[in-house]
Amino acid sequence: MPIRMLIPIPVALLAAASAAPVVCAQDPGGQRPNVLFIAMDDLNDWVGCLGGHPQAKTPNMDALAKRGTLFTNAHIQSPLCNPSRSSLLTGLRPSTTGIYGLAPGIRDVDALKDHVTLPQTFTQAGYHTYVCGKIYHDGSIKQKDQPREFGKWGERGPPPYPPQKFVHTPDDMKAMDWGIFPERDEDQGDWKIATAAVEAIRSAPAEKPFFIAAGFRYPHVPCFASQKWFDLYPEDSLQLPPVKDDDRADTPMFSWFLHWKLPEPRLSWLRANNQWKPLVRAYLACTTFTDSQIGRVLAALKESGREQNTIIVFWSDHGWHLGEKLISGKNSLWDRSTRVPLIFAGPGITPNQRCARPAELLDLFPTLLELGGFPPRKDLEGHSLVPQLKDASAPRKWPAITTHNHDNHGIRTEKWRYIRYADGSRELYDMEKDPNEWTNLAGDPKYAPVISDLSRWIPKTNMKPVPGSAHRILTYDPATKQAVWEDKLIDPAMLED
């Protein structure tokens, strides 16, 4: 449902993006690097090399991490598909663009109509550009606008669905399902996306550098995988994530508002319906299946003979709760929702590095500009990670900043997680001593200096939702102290555990 009474976005920061043509400098050998841009959807840190789940099996991601630099403290700009991807691809924060919900797409925002995006930069520079799967949020780029983003758009790979749902969740949304399906991997959307990416690599013109993007759809629900992937995670030995039953006792009421009425079930429902372990198992099975498809793409790159001059970037658009903080899904400002895998490998990148400095998906744009020999862009809000790609211990002064809906922000450093909500309520966690974020320190006066220091990173620009904003939109009026979820006034008394 569209949100009314909204204000337009300022254009001052965006003007430079469309003011000058894109120029790409070549390296001394005259060979511009290729880019293989690989994404997964809703993948948290349940990856072997990140250790988010002790049983996660991701051999291809792990091998890629050894080939390059793994950022172990990487975070997204928004814990929702459209604003996260829009931020990464424009190089602008959600609080700058006003894109917080599942709509609108960037080209439907007046101030962004001519903004030069990351893929558009490579397209304009003469690269052969190709995309398959989900890179932009589905439907956010209309067909008329697609050619200026990528030169060619391939297989989208929507997931297959069984004739009937396996799991009847509270709102019975079709996508909120998990189970063993289909019988053949070849019928999976991610198999088809991998096949498209393999063919794109094989057929890429030799006389041009390429930018090939493959956006895989798992482990986003529905979590379907064939039997062999489930067999890797026997139910009787499967480990569930650690949870604390009173975990929300010291979190503000406003923390519930960020995921007020969503199709993802609460932990209480998963437990009552014996679906917690099946969901965890399906999530891991889907992750391992898609890891195998990433392996197919990386093998094709090696076989092409162009691997040595190709920068590989692997990322996820946000994380996913599987019971932690008593919820499933994303839409939160805690680590389970914000922390994602981020890997760079290829020319100019030191192999077998683990970097604990805070990194943001917002940093991908300026990093690829520098690695590709493009001039820097003053309008981008991220910061190049090239110093850390050369030396993982290189200092980095910026934290990672995540925003979910208007004026709700999370600040993540190497030690701290600080959250400030639109109503002024706060959370503070010592991530070194309390990685599960079980003890909110914000009310302890001795941490006031820490909060004061972290507060300086709260974005100064906080745009209201742009016209056309829809789905997952939360607003707050400080004058009336009322919160509104998708055009409906929130009644805290209606809170469901």
Which domains, ranges and CATH numbers included, belong to the chain? Answer: 12-494 (3.40.720.10)
Task: For Cα atoms 372, 377, 382, give the angle at the middle one, nearest 5 degrees.
Answer: 90
Task: For Cα atoms 319, 443, 430, give the angle at the middle one, nearest 5 degrees.
Answer: 45
pLDDT in tens, the chain (497 residues): 333 333 334 434 444 444 433 444 333 335 799 999 999 999 999 999 999 999 999 999 999 999 999 999 999 999 999 999 999 999 999 999 999 999 999 999 999 999 999 999 999 999 999 999 999 999 999 999 999 999 999 999 988 999 999 999 999 999 999 999 999 999 999 999 999 999 999 999 999 999 999 999 999 999 999 999 999 999 999 999 999 999 999 999 999 999 999 999 999 999 999 999 999 999 999 999 999 999 999 999 999 999 999 999 999 999 999 999 999 999 999 999 999 999 999 999 999 999 999 999 999 999 999 999 999 999 999 999 999 999 999 999 999 999 999 999 999 999 999 999 999 999 999 999 999 999 999 999 999 999 999 999 999 999 999 999 999 999 999 999 999 999 999 999 998 87
Quick one: which H or E segment has residue 152?
A: strand 152-153
Active-site choice (49, 81, 132, 223): 81
Q: Please tell me the chain's helix, strand, coil percentages from 3-state DSSP, rounded to the nearest 5.
A: 30, 20, 50
Task: For Cα atoms 449, 454, 457, give the angle at the middle one, nearest 5 degrees.
Answer: 145
Q: Which residue has the tokens 């934290």?
A: 399
Residue 382, number of CB atoms within 10 A of its CB: 22
Amino acid at 100: Y
The CB-side HSE value for 37 (13 A sphere, CA atoms) comes to 28
**Among 324, 317, 331, residue whose Cα is nearest residue 360:** 317
Q: Which residue has the tokens 């600040």?
A: 411
Q: Encode 316-375 in three state secondary structure.
A: ECCCCEECHHHEEECCCCCHHHHEEEEEEECCCCCCCEEECCCEEHHHHHHHHHHHCCCC
Indicate if the alpha-carbon torsion angle 482, 488, 494, 495 is positive or negative.
negative
Active site residue 81: yes
Active-site choice (75, 137, 321, 406): 137
Active site residue 471: no
